[in-house]
């Protein structure tokens, strides 16, 4: 380490909030160059390369073939699929010296599809799975958490090309199995959750989430094995009821009740019925805009009053459209919107699309706005007094909600998205007319699957799961070195010689070793060893005089004395066992 390009830091970086970010910077793995743009120092690059190699091996094992596309891409293919526009400000765009438009690839569906079309033509060529491990770019609005959500990052992306839907299912299953092997080898705790497919289009879709409190993704799981990203949770609709036995809707003067809480309190104080927030129908106004359009359109969402609208779920449901909250000027421009007292009637009378939570079924009665200040209507019955324009998964999902598989209630947790697999179907094959000539000489439209792993993000995801108060604790499969040898006192030439010869012997046995031969105090060396997180630490210290070394297991914290005689073999057995 006296010559290793590494300086550890005593202080957390000022901009770091999550443990992986703090530790990867403090331990000298990465350095920030610009927002969401990092360089990899020697230790970080070693971990990144080990992860990359495990991902590669498991992709090769399912017969996927590695290729590599450029990151600098011409506009035209992305124009053909409208993604040049749909991506909005989320991609980096640039012009070359001749004024031609380019982008830095955020994902390569277009290129994969065009490339397969360029090379393959017969049904005999299929199926094929191609992948790349390549640098990608997204101009994130809020890059965060170091390399966890960067603007330049390394991804493995693969695509399967099949003649039939059954073939696609098989390719999907192969990837699912390969991902499980990959993440198991990386020593991760993760869940596979049902997911929405986002801007990519397509049907079956699952995400691999590394469990982590600092994760951006919330997921839920039920006791029977159901697990889903909150965006993908479907709300079981209660059965429809008869509308005939319901009391008539009555408008009440409800002064000063612009919130659900004030409304429920007022009704409970001034009527002889007992209301809860769940009896109210809250109408939330949003506006949406299709990609490439300048026109905003109003959209009203009705949810039971005891739940908030979850904007991530709304966005997932409306993609690729853009969604925004209404501003004061929007209310001013639409005087029929009486803030705090909006009801279905004024919305639908004025041509505003009105979609509701799946719980709002025919026959259910609601307290909701009466479209006049200080007035609400009670017993407004769905299917009798109003008919929504459709349903939407907009209401927040809560721990304790019933699991859609009927096995009990959901619990909520957070995770980091580390992989995503989904059946893309024929969206891109249609866009580029990717056909194979069938055995009967008729064209067969190809169906595709899309599969991603966030390779550089995995470094952070593993660090989130593998650290303690003293520093990083790498799983053996990805550690930057197998063994960290600490020469406790460099000024003692015998210790230094013993450390150097142990390091050499370990390397001869095929292990990678970092040797701390610096002229620093033992305390600094031990602290750095803990911070860096190599799983096996060997201390060459005072015990040498009695013929012993100390081995510390960074995972368990266990310390063992071993004999100097045969120490390399003993350590190798510990590491490889």
Q: Which residues bind its own copies (CB under 8 A)?
A: 2-7, 28, 31, 33-34, 37-42, 45, 48, 63, 65-74, 89-90, 92-94, 96-97, 100, 102, 104, 111, 115, 118-120, 124, 128, 130, 135, 137, 139, 141, 151-152
Give least dist CB 490 to its own copies, A.
12
Is 359 within 8 Å of 304 (Cβ atoms)? yes
CA distance 136 to 105: 6
Q: Where are the alpha helices (DSSP H) in 466-532?
A: 493-508, 522-532
Give least dist CB 22 to its own copies, A.
17
CA-nearest of 501, 280, 292, 483 to 395 is 280
Cβ distance to its own copies smaller for residue 151 or 398: 151
Is 394 within 8 Å of 283 (Cβ atoms)? no
Give least dist CB 151 to its own copies, A.
7
Cβ distance to its own copies smaller for residue 143 or 419: 143
Cβ distance to its own copies smaller for residue 44 or 320: 44
What angle (nearest 5°) sits at the alpha carbon of residue 279, between those of residues 277 and 281?
A: 85
- H or E segment at 448? strand 447-454
Cβ distance to its own copies smaller for residue 120 or 331: 120
Give least dist CB 256 to its own copies, A.
43
312 contacts: CB under 8 Å, gap ≥ 6: 230, 231
Give least dist CB 419 to its own copies, A.
22
Give least dist CB 563 to its own copies, A.
32
Cα torsion through 242, 243, 247, 250, rounded to 10: 150
Q: What interhelical angle do 42-61 and 165-185 show, nearest 10?
A: 140
Burial degree of 513 (CB within 10 A; 0-12, 13-18, 19+): buried
Give least dist CB 8 to its own copies, A.
10
Residue 495 has φ and ψ, to the nearest 5°, of: -60, -45
R_g of the chain, CA atoms, integer Å: 30
DSSP code of residue 146: G
Give least dist CB 66 to its own copies, A.
6
Cβ distance to its own copies smaller for residue 45 or 555: 45
Cβ distance to its own copies smaller for residue 394 or 534: 534
CA distance 193 to 356: 25
CA-nearest of 355, 405, 358 to 240 is 358
Cβ distance to its own copies smaller for residue 2 or 387: 2
Cβ distance to its own copies smaller for residue 149 or 359: 149
Cβ distance to its own copies smaller for residue 10 or 274: 10
Give least dist CB 29 to its own copies, A.
11
DSSP code of residue 261: H
Cβ distance to its own copies smaller for residue 28 or 302: 28
CA distance 278 to 366: 9
Cβ distance to its own copies smaller for residue 106 or 222: 106
Give least dist CB 128 to its own copies, A.
6
CB atoms within 10 A of CB 2: 10
Q: Which residue has the tokens 């506009």?
A: 75
CA distance 303 to 520: 63
3-state secondary structure 188-244: CCEEEEECCCHHHCCCCEEEEEEECCCCCEEEEECCCCCEEEHHHCCCCCCCCCCCC
Is 350 within 8 Å of 334 (Cβ atoms)? yes
Kindly state the greatest CA–CA separation across the chain: 95
CA distance 201 to 82: 13
What is the C-alpha end-to-end distance of the chain, expressed in Å?
Answer: 26
Cβ distance to its own copies smaller for residue 104 or 342: 104
CA distance 452 to 447: 17
Give least dist CB 312 to its own copies, A.
20
What is the token pair recorded at 182?
């990959």
Cβ distance to its own copies smaller for residue 40 or 226: 40
Cβ distance to its own copies smaller for residue 42 or 292: 42
Give least dist CB 358 to its own copies, A.
36
Beta-strand relationship, 513-516 and 536-540 = unpaired
Helix/strand/coil for 49:
helix
Give least dist CB 262 to its own copies, A.
40
Is 203 within 8 Å of 422 (Cβ atoms)? yes
What is the token pair recorded at 62?
């399912």
Give least dist CB 91 to its own copies, A.
9
């Amino acid at each position: 380490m006296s010559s290793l390009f590494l300086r550890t830091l005593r202080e957390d970086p000022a901009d770091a909030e999550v443990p992986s970010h703090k530790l990867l910077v403090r331990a000298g793995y990465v350095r920030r160059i610009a927002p969401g743009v990092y360089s990899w120092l020697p230790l970080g690059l070693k971990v990144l390369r080990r992860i990359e190699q495990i991902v590669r091996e498991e992709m090769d094992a399912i017969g996927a073939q590695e290729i590599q596309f450029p990151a600098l891409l011409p506009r035209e293919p992305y124009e053909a699929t409208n993604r040049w526009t749909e991506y909005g400000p989320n991609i980096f765009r640039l012009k070359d010296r001749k004024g031609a438009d380019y982008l830095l690839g955020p994902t390569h569906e277009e290129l994969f599809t065009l490339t397969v079309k360029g090379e393959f033509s017969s049904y005999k060529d299929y199926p094929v799975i191609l992948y790349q491990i390549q640098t990608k770019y997204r101009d994130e609005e809020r890059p965060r958490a170091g390399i966890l959500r960067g603007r330049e990052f390394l991804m493995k992306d693969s695509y399967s090309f099949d003649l039939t839907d059954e073939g696609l299912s098989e390719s999907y299953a192969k990837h699912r199995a390969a991902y499980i092997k990959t993440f198991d080898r990386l020593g991760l705790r993760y869940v596979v959750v049902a997911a929405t497919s986002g801007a990519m289009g397509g049907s079956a879709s699952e995400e691999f989430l590394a469990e982590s409190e600092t994760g951006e993704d919330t997921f839920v799981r039920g006791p029977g094995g159901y697990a889903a990203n909150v965006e993908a949770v479907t709300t079981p609709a209660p059965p429809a009821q008869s509308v005939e036995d319901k009391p008539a809707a009555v408008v009440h003067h409800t002064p000063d009740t612009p919130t659900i809480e004030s409304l429920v309190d007022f009704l409970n104080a001034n009527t002889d019925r007992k209301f809860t927030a769940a009896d109210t129908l809250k109408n939330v106004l949003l506006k949406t805009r299709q990609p490439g359009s300048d026109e905003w359109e109003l959209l009203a969402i009705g949810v039971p009053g005891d739940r908030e609208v979850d904007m991530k779920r709304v966005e997932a449901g409306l993609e690729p459209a853009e969604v925004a909250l209404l501003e004061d000027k929007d209310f001013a421009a639409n005087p029929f919107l009486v803030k705090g007292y909006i009801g279905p009637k004024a919305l639908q009378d004025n041509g505003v699309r009105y979609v509701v939570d799946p719980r709002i079924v025919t026959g259910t009665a609601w307290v909701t706005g009466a479209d006049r200040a200080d007035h609400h209507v009670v017993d407004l019955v769905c299917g009798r007094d109003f008919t929504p324009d459709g349903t939407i998964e907009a209401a927040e999902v809560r721990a304790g909600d019933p699991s859609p598989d009927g096995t009990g209630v959901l619990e909520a947790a957070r995770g980091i998205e580390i992989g995503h697999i989904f059946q893309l179907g024929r969206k891109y094959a249609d866009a580029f007319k990717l056909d194979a000539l069938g055995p009967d000489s008729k064209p067969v439209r190809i169906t595709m699957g899309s599969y991603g792993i966030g390779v550089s993000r995995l470094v952070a995801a593993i660090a989130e799961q593998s650290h303690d108060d003293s520093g990083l604790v790498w799983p053996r499969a990805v550690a930057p070195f197998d063994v960290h040898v600490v020469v406790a006192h460099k000024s003692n030439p015998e210790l230094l010689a013993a450390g150097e010869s142990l390091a050499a012997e370990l390397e001869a046995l095929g292990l990678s070793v970092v040797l701390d031969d610096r002229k620093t105090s033992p305390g600094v060396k031990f602290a750095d060893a803990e911070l860096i997180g190599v799983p096996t630490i060997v201390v060459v210290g005072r015990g040498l005089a009695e013929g012993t070394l100390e081995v510390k297991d960074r995972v368990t914290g266990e310390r063992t004395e071993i004999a100097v005689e045969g120490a390399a073999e003993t350590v190798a057995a510990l590491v490889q066992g």
